[in-house]
Structures are given as structure tokens and as C-alpha cells.
Amino acid sequence: MVSRRQAMKVAIIGANGQLGTDIVKAFAEEEVIALTQNDIEISDIDSVQRAFEGIQPDVVVNTAAFLNVDLCEKERAKAFLVNETGALNLARVLDKRNIPLLHVSTDYVFDGTKKRPYEEIDAPNPLNVYGESKLAGERAIQANCSRHYIVRTSGLYGHAKCLAKGSNFIEKILAKSKESPELRVVDDEVLTPTYAFDLARQIRTLVQTGHYGLYHATNSGECSWYEFAKEVLKLAGSSKTVVPVGSNMYPSEVRRPAYSVLENANLRSQGLDVMPAWQESLAHYFNRS
Ligand SMILES: NC(=O)c1ccc[n+]([C@@H]2O[C@H](COP(=O)([O-])OP(=O)(O)OC[C@H]3O[C@@H](n4cnc5c(N)ncnc54)[C@H](OP(=O)(O)O)[C@@H]3O)[C@@H](O)[C@H]2O)c1
């Protein structure tokens, strides 16, 4: 007789967001508790307690954050309330119930001066309020939740809308290419664009291990926004010209790291890295559109 594995019970916070939507799909064969902001407000401890009353998930995946980088700079208190206190509330409530927490964080915890891919052992030094508040959230979880995974990623795009930012970079480039004969895109900020579909599968792989800790999880390789835009237009079959420009063409009050490539060192050392090259994933995104 073949015995069936019992489904894992997974609660996903931010389930209607860009990444949350793909995580819900990635766990389709498990028992999913999809939580939106109508079900849980992470910055409110009572709301967090209520959301987990009477349920005992095997793991909670938190994608919720205040992630509009420009708005975080203007609304510092709100950034820390959601990104630090929200993470702390989850850590405390789940630790008391002995439920593991997987929390999503960002490449913006680094200052970009290393110029080589950042590993998990590298010291963070955020340049802006978003990065500072996300780092504070990571530390709150490390100090208050013994069974945690923290997963830093970068440059996310997916088929579901990024609720905090509206359209993703690909949609913005394609829209601009219809309006103007030539596009200007910065070539002095380097990152790894990461496909939410792949990250969701990576998260599914990781939470089945019980190997808690800090992880970098992005697609592999690196590119500037300019190189990313060129690849987007090539795959879209557009002949529009992209001109590389410096970020000083678009002055901003918010400092961003010039180089925020992450090395999936901890995933790789455990044989868990399932993230494809960014160009392969971008082609996959276009094939599924
Ligand atoms: N997008 C990127 O390029 C990027 C890069 C690196 C890391 N990350 C990290 O990846 C994660 C997911 O980002 P995403 O692109 O999927 O963002 P998203 O589309 O904006 O999704 C965020 C989700 O969190 C919910 N949420 C926001 N504040 C909340 C709160 N206080 N309480 C409960 N739920 C709340 C949002 O619901 P409502 O919309 O209803 O408020 C939304 O469902 C975040 O942790 C972010 O820091 C993102």
C-alpha cells in the first residue's frame, strides 16, 4: 500500500501581493492559509494574535512590508512600524506557538560599495530608510524567533502586480517603448532581476528542510537596469533603441546602492539553490505572459 505524505499547512501573509501570489501557487499541493491585509495587520500585535488563534500552521511565510523606497524615506515612522515592529510582532507570536517563520528581506540592506556579490556573512550598511527598517526587521526576528528563515532577494518581477509599486520594471519599459522613439535607462546601478515564480519555488524548497538561518535568494548573474531593459525589448521583439545614462540624470533624494548583487552562498553550500540565470527566467516570464 502506498502511504500518502500529509500536506504541509502553510500560512502566507501578503498572499495577494506580487510575490505572495506566486507563493500561494507554488504551495498548491499543500494546505494554504492565504492571508491578506483584511485578515492580518502585522504592525498591530492584537491583529497578529487574532490571525493565528485556532490555527497551527507548519510554517508562516511573510511577504508583507512597506516597500515603496521613496515613500519610506518620507514616512520613516511608518516604515519602521511595518518593517520592524511588524516583523517583531510575528516573531514573538509565532515563537510562543513554536511555529517557524520565513521572512522576506532585501538587497537594500547593503551599501553597494563591495562591487562583488554580497554573501550572507557580509556586514549590512543600508543607505536609506527602507533598507534600515528591513534590516531592523531581520534583527527583530533573529532575536525573538528561534525557528526562522530570512530570505533576502532583489529586483522582483512577476505576473501579479506589485501592490506597493504598481507596475513592474518590465511593464514600465514596454509602456515607455510605445510612447517614445528612444529610451534612457541607468547603467550605473547593478543588480540581479529576480522572477517571483522562481523565488516562490525556492522558498518551497527551503521551508521543507528545517535548515533555519539567513539566506540570499536571487536569480543568478547580474546586470545594470540598462542591460535589463535591452533584454526586455529584445524578448518583446522591439527594435527601439536604449541609451545608457548615469543615475545623475534622475536626481533623487533617496540613496540607493550602486551594486546590490547577492550570492546565494548559503543555499548553494547546502545544495538547495534552484534559481536559474536571470536571462532564462526573463524568457520564461515572456513565454507565460
Ligand atoms: N518588489 C521588489 O522589487 C523587492 C525587492 C527585494 C525585496 N522585496 C521584498 O519582497 C517582499 C514582497 O514584495 P512584493 O513585491 O510582493 O510587494 P507587494 O506586491 O506590495 O506585496 C506586499 C503585500 O504585503 C501586504 N501588506 C503591506 N503592508 C502590510 C501590513 N502592514 N500588514 C499586512 N499586510 C501588509 C500588501 O497588502 P496591501 O497591498 O493590501 O497593503 C501586499 O499584499 C517584501 O518583503 C519586500 O520587502 C521586494
For residue 224, the model assigns a pLDDT of 97
Query: Is the CB of 260 within 6 Å of ligand 1?
Result: no
- Probe residue for ligand 1, chosen from 67, 72, 132, 172 as the CB with the greatest number of ligand atoms within 8 Å: 67
Give the CA-trace dihedral at 8, 277, 195, 182, to 10 degrees. Answer: 180
Rounded to whole angstroms, the Cα distance separating 75 from 81 reads 10
Ligand 1: atom nearest CA of 16 is: 43
Residue nearest to atom 7 of ligand 1 (CA): 106
Query: Is the CB of 62 within 6 Å of ligand 1?
Result: no
Q: What is the largest distance, in Å, between two alpha-carbon atoms of the chain?
A: 67
For residue 249, the model assigns a pLDDT of 84
Instruction: Report residue 87 as a C-alpha cell.
Output: 516583523
Ligand 1: atom nearest CA of 134 is: 47
Gap from CA of 282 to ligand 1 centroid (Å): 21
Residue nearest to atom 23 of ligand 1 (CA): 14
Q: Is the pLDDT of residue 33 over 80?
A: yes
Query: Is the CB of 191 within 6 Å of ligand 1?
Result: no
Query: Is the CB of 20 within 6 Å of ligand 1?
Result: yes
| Residue recorded with cell 512590508 | 65
Query: Is the CB of 17 within 6 Å of ligand 1?
Result: yes
Average pLDDT score over residue span 92-113: 97
User: Which active-site residues does the annotation give?
Assistant: 130
Q: Please, what is the Cα angle at 133 between 130 and 136, to 5 degrees?
A: 150
Query: Is the CB of 24 within 6 Å of ligand 1?
Result: no
Gap from CA of 1 to ligand 1 centroid (Å): 44
For residue 1, the model assigns a pLDDT of 57
**CB neighbour list of residue 98: distance below 8 Å, 6 or more residues apart:** 147
Identify the burial level of 15 via C-beta atoms within 10 angstroms of its C-beta, where 0-12 means exposed, 13-18 middle and 19 or more buried. buried
Gap from CA of 122 to ligand 1 centroid (Å): 25
Residue nearest to atom 1 of ligand 1 (CA): 156
Whether the CB-CB separation of 13 and 64 falls below 8 Å is answered with yes
Whether the CB-CB separation of 22 and 170 falls below 8 Å is answered with no
pLDDT tens digits along 151-203: 999 999 999 987 777 889 999 999 999 988 889 999 999 999 999 999 999 99
Rounded to whole angstroms, the Cα distance separating 285 from 277 reads 13
Rounded to whole angstroms, the Cα distance separating 75 from 69 reads 10
Answer with the residue of higher pLDDT: 174 or 252.
174
- Probe residue for ligand 1, chosen from 13, 16, 19 as the CB with the greatest number of ligand atoms within 8 Å: 19
- Beta strand 223-224 with 190-191: parallel, antiparallel or unpaired? antiparallel
Predicted confidence band of residue 2 (pLDDT cuts 50, 70, 90): low
> Which ranges of 160-244 would DSSP assign to H, the alpha helix?
169-179, 196-207, 225-235
Whether the CB-CB separation of 213 and 263 falls below 8 Å is answered with no
Q: Is the pLDDT of residue 3 over 90?
A: no
Residue nearest to atom 2 of ligand 1 (CA): 156
Cβ atoms within 10 Å, residue 98: 10
Q: Closest by alpha carbon to 109, among 136, 90, 76, 85?
A: 136
Instruction: Report residue 231 as a C-alpha cell.
Output: 533584454
For residue 109, the model assigns a pLDDT of 98
Q: Closest by alpha carbon to 17, among 60, 66, 57?
A: 66
Whether the CB-CB separation of 257 and 192 falls below 8 Å is answered with no
Instruction: Report residue 164 as a C-alpha cell.
Output: 506597493
